[in-house]
Amino acid sequence: MRCSSKVATALALALVACANVNSVVGGACADGYVEQDNTCVPASPNNGDGGPSQNDGQAMGGDGSDGQTGDGGGTGDGGGGNTTTTTLNNNNGPSFACFAPTILCSGVCVDPTSDPDNCGSCGHVCPSNSCVNSTCVGSAPGHVVVIGHDYTTSPSNASSQARVLSNATLLPASNPLRVMSYEEYSNATAVKNAEALVDAEAKLLGRTVSFVATTSSSTVSSTIDITTWDVLLVHDQDSAPSGTLGTIGTSWATSGTIATFLQAGGVVIVLTGGTGTAEMPALSTNASLLSITAQATITGSLTVLAPADAIGSGVVSPYIPKPNTVSLTTEPDTGNVVWVVAQSGDPVVVHKVIP
């Protein structure tokens, strides 16, 4: 639409109307619009040419410039160098920019240096509700969960065997949940089944889980950190050469990084079944996670001993597990150690809280 009038009053009214619609008024467009072919169109990051509009001062530079002008956007041309994220809304309307230190999380600009719901990264929740310099402040208990179930034969999503695993993995409130998955000597089918069970439960809760696989024990000890990860999921390493898992556990304890991760509120889950070398107890013990002196393959129904525990919540009792389930000879059921699931007094699922 173009505005014209021979009467000054009518012209003024027309200019106001155009400024709020799509015409070029006084050589400029209304806020949230840019000029194309002498017509104002909604601003966007690309405007059809693969780069930001040169007239989109509202979205980029803040002063009518492009926020870049060939110099990286950092010097005197509207502060474009401070723009960290730009996106379009769902209606292809005006663009929105987040300026450092803020970042875009779920369509909102937040400050990850101080936001307790997005501390350091989107969705990383601080249990203390306090975030300083991108790090959660205050102590939070860590959790070690050892599960004596084998997931090579997948249980149904609604089963108790699935529920104890999803309860353990989803303990942290972060969304998306960041899980380091150690799979060096694991059965690929068991890994796939276990992660699918957790994914299914997470979707029911409106959450997402990011599993990042590693096949290097040294990568685990060198990179596990509460600012990057919420959970360390150690799958059953059933194909490990004899003696290897105990050595890995010792190296993890020596590095001290997993202990630091737990003391900062991290979660470590150890899966162990009755196949292969069956030396996950040595890994758990030597890594100072949970002392396990032996495991034994069992059959028959299991009983939930601690339905009020976070790992036992909603788990139907009794229940029949899939094959190759094991009981554990481990630390006593007292203090910060809870036997969650057992058979005739022998624990199968154990939850240890790290104060």
Position 221 pLDDT exceeds 70? yes
Greater confidence (33 vs 248) lies with 248
CB 31 within 8 A of CB 37: no
> Among 247, 335, 8, which Cα is nearest to 350's?
335
Its pTM stands at: 0.69
Every domain of the chain and the residues it spans = 8-100, 142-354
Mean pLDDT, rounded, of the chain: 82
- E strand map for 152-240: 177-182, 209-214, 231-234
Position 87 pLDDT exceeds 70? no
CB 269 within 8 A of CB 305: no
Position 48 pLDDT exceeds 50? no
The CATH-assigned architecture of domain 142-354 is 3-Layer(aba) Sandwich (3.40)
Position 62 pLDDT exceeds 90? no
Position 294 pLDDT exceeds 80? yes
Position 83 pLDDT exceeds 70? no
Residue whose pair of structure tokens reads 């102590």 in the numeric block: 139
Q: For the residues 322-344, what does the mean pLDDT come to?
A: 98
**What percent of the chain lies above the pLDDT cut of 90?**
64
Measured between its terminal Cα atoms, the distance across the chain in Å is: 68
Structure tokens belonging to residue 140: 């939070």
Q: What are the Cα distances from residue 286, in Å, to 122, 162, 262?
A: 34, 27, 16
Residue whose pair of structure tokens reads 């002392």 in the numeric block: 291
Distance in angstroms (rounded) separating the CA atoms of residues 103 and 85: 6
Q: What is the DSSP letter of 24?
A: -
> Among 180, 174, 147, 176, which Cα is nearest to 163's?
147
Q: What's the 3-state SS for 91-131?
A: CCCCEEEEECCCEEECCEEECCCCCCCCCCCCCCCCCCCCE
Distance in angstroms (rounded) separating the CA atoms of residues 327 and 301: 12
Question: Confidence band (pLDDT; 50, 70, 90) for 297?
Answer: very high
CB 278 within 8 A of CB 150: no
Q: Name the least confident of 35-44, 175-184, 312-321, 343-352.
A: 35-44
CB 262 within 8 A of CB 302: no
Q: Name the least confident of 38-47, 130-139, 303-312.
A: 38-47
pLDDT at 77: 40
Distance in angstroms (rounded) separating the CA atoms of residues 112 and 306: 37
Q: For the residues 94-105, what does the mean pLDDT come to?
A: 82
